Amino acid sequence: MSIRTALTSLVALAAALPAHAEPTFNRIASFATAANMAEGEDRARATSAEIMAVSDDGNMLIYSDSPLGVIGLVDITDPAQPRPLGNIAMEGEPTTTVIKGGMAFVGVNRSPSRAAPAGVLRSVDLATRKVIADCDLGGQPDSVAISAAGDMIAVAIENERDEDVNDGALPQAPAGFVVRLPVTDGAVDCAAKQVIELTGLSEIAPEDPEPEYLAFNAAGELAVTLQENNHIVLIGADGTVTRHFSAGTVDLAGIDDTKDGAISADATLTGVPREPDALAWIDNEHFVTANEGDWKGGSRGFTIWKTDGSVVFDSGNLLDRELMRIGHYPEGRSGKKGGEPEAVISARYGEQPLIFVASERGSVVFVFDVADPAAPKLLQTLPSGIGPEGLVAIPQRDLFATANETDLGEDGGARAHVMLYQRTEAPAAYPTLIAAEAEAPIGWGALSGLTMDAADPGKLYAVSDSAYAAAPAIYSIDTTSQPARITAKTVVTRNGAPAEKLDLEGIAADGQGGFWLVSEGNDEKGVPHAVLHVDAAGEVTQEFPLPEALAPHARRFGFEGIALVDGMLWLAVQREWGDDPAGQTKLLRLNPANGEWAGVLYPLEATDNGWVGLSEMARYGDALYLIERDNQIGEGARLKAITRVKLADLAPAPLGTPLPLVQKEVLRDLIPDLKGWGGYVQDKVEGMTIAPDGTAWLVTDNDGVDDASGETLLWSVKLD
């Protein structure tokens, strides 16, 4: 039997659907920063893509890579096929790069300690890839900006505090300041360096300003954020401070402020300092700040200001609640700064003024139309890599790019990436799943199993895994809309209270309004392997523990899928247990009427990278269909596949006796599907269910956005 997919690539999606009146951004490529490492270098070593700039012609991206002490170069002449151009050593920690003509100007931190900050501005000839000049900055540089005319560079000398001293509280000498440097004929005039002192301005630690970020407007004026001081400073084109004001506080209602394994939106915080990080000018009278928060709190939003210090717009709880709606809310950060907006830029695409706001912990970028600065309009939320921090607009090519700093390669996770997006008339390909509009958002994520409503193939049900152990849940999904919508959330309960000690990994509708669920065990956390039945309200009505014949051999990687076949329950065990031959795992059969168990052995594929196991099971026609995958992500992924075992070939033997080995058929490689969204290959294809007409729905597990990009990919393929 052959299988064809309904979505094989973003290009196919765009061609198949009607054009939208309003252009949208879709991701078209991703570039792992490890690709810029030279032959012979340890590519498992951590890299980063932090702050990024683009060449004047829009064909080259340059990002700072702090772990390697280099700037990395990427050729995006063909944005769908970015090419590595290698790294240039900076002999220090690069922070920010700006570009004018054929020159890159790089702020480099060379501080021997926080108590003795030092740094330089390095001029790099991009044609020769050589450092041709240094300018001593007199402190530790953070943000670097260049004027629209290219005749002035400004550097925020942060002289950042040591967070291990006095709990990171200010003041901690020496104070920071701003440096301005004229640029003539592509060369920095270091002798004409102007130092602009910022002491005595802020209400918080006025003796210790820590400028975080700065930007020029078209008139040559600078806006500067003092994040830890919760202050904003404006500097005129002549280099004098013209105005300064507190960034103030914000009251937040309807947010989650507690890390407890459940997403809720019922908390209120008052008087939270904004503590802005990045900023961008919208026009000469308005600018926007990304309010990351810091040691005083986390205001979780962005603010649009007038130059007189008045607030034109504040996003309040908007960003965190949108993260909840699209499954990207980082519940583990609820007690700190939530989604943590850190980066913001502005740009005009055609006649449309836009701002892009990056959520560092939610790993997305929000796109707003700011034609009316007092009423920004949310247009899109773009998926990114982990920890987006550098944002680059390339409107002359209808492109946008992000630099994503988090690199988990040393732990087998995703690498740091640069991602590219194209603005076209095609519809938005992401998100693929959102929560329906409601007074309080339906928080969701970590989807680990799927089943279909027997009476309505357009309705699916999913379960979430241990990422939300405090409130394990069943989600109702309407697939008839684009994107699909979560319409309800049913918490699994015991005796009316949220069920504890569950790691739900599979779900099967019982045909009577209830469900069969499987929970994967974890001895270290006291979570047993179990099969459960719940009624339509989510209440546990029946539970089966592991039988005595299996319990002594059980390992961590247990039940990952469940299917109901002619009154019998079939369960997929993810990986081999202690009594299994190497490279084989079990398919178990449970008779819920009498509690009898039996099983067969299933042969797993072998790969050259990581482990291989099963992550889902579904019945269709005369066979059981399974997802077999490795645990690798990105370029390391080798196996993400749909396989099939004929029901007629299943002759399970009682447990405790030799189990027969079944034959399987590998039907479809899912890696091309996963590449269709333009990002790196997600590791966890966790859910699958199949309609009577042969339409199979699949979903990825986003790990609750914990050390993951947060992307949930829901799509369908057709079984011929």
Domains in the chain (CATH in brackets) are 434-719 (2.115.10.20)
| pLDDT given for residue 21 in this prediction | 60
Distance CA(537)–CA(513), nearest Å, equals 9
Backbone angles phi, psi at 100, to 5 degrees: -145, 125
Write the DSSP assignment of 443-506 as a string of letters: ----EEEEEEETTEEEEEEEEE-GGGTTS-EEEEEETTSSSEEEEEEEE-EETTEEPPS--EEE
∠ Cα 502 506 508 (to 5°): 120
In this predicted structure, the answer to whether residue 254 has a pLDDT above a threshold of 60 is yes
**Which run of H or E residues covers position 15?**
helix 10-16
The per-residue pLDDT of the chain, averaged, comes to 94
- Mean pLDDT for the stretch of residues 523-533: 92
- Mean pLDDT for the stretch of residues 261-265: 93
Write the pLDDT tens digit of every residue in 77-102. 999 999 999 999 999 999 999 999 99
The answer to which of 66-70, 137-141, 169-173, 193-197 has the lowest mean pLDDT is 169-173
| pLDDT given for residue 428 in this prediction | 97
| pLDDT given for residue 13 in this prediction | 37
In this predicted structure, the answer to whether residue 1 has a pLDDT above a threshold of 60 is no
Write the pLDDT tens digit of every residue in 276-316. 999 999 999 999 999 998 877 779 999 999 999 999 999 99
The pLDDT confidence band at residue 181, using thresholds 50, 70 and 90, is very high
3-state helix, strand, coil in the chain (%, to 5): 10, 45, 45
Distance CA(400)–CA(420), nearest Å, equals 6
Distance CA(359)–CA(364), nearest Å, equals 6
Write the pLDDT tens digit of every residue in 27-43. 999 999 999 999 889 88
Residue 372 CB contacts under 8 Å (≥ 6 apart), including other chains: none
| pLDDT given for residue 720 in this prediction | 72
Write the pLDDT tens digit of every residue in 610-663. 999 999 999 999 999 999 999 999 999 999 999 999 999 999 999 999 999 999
Distance CA(76)–CA(13), nearest Å, equals 23
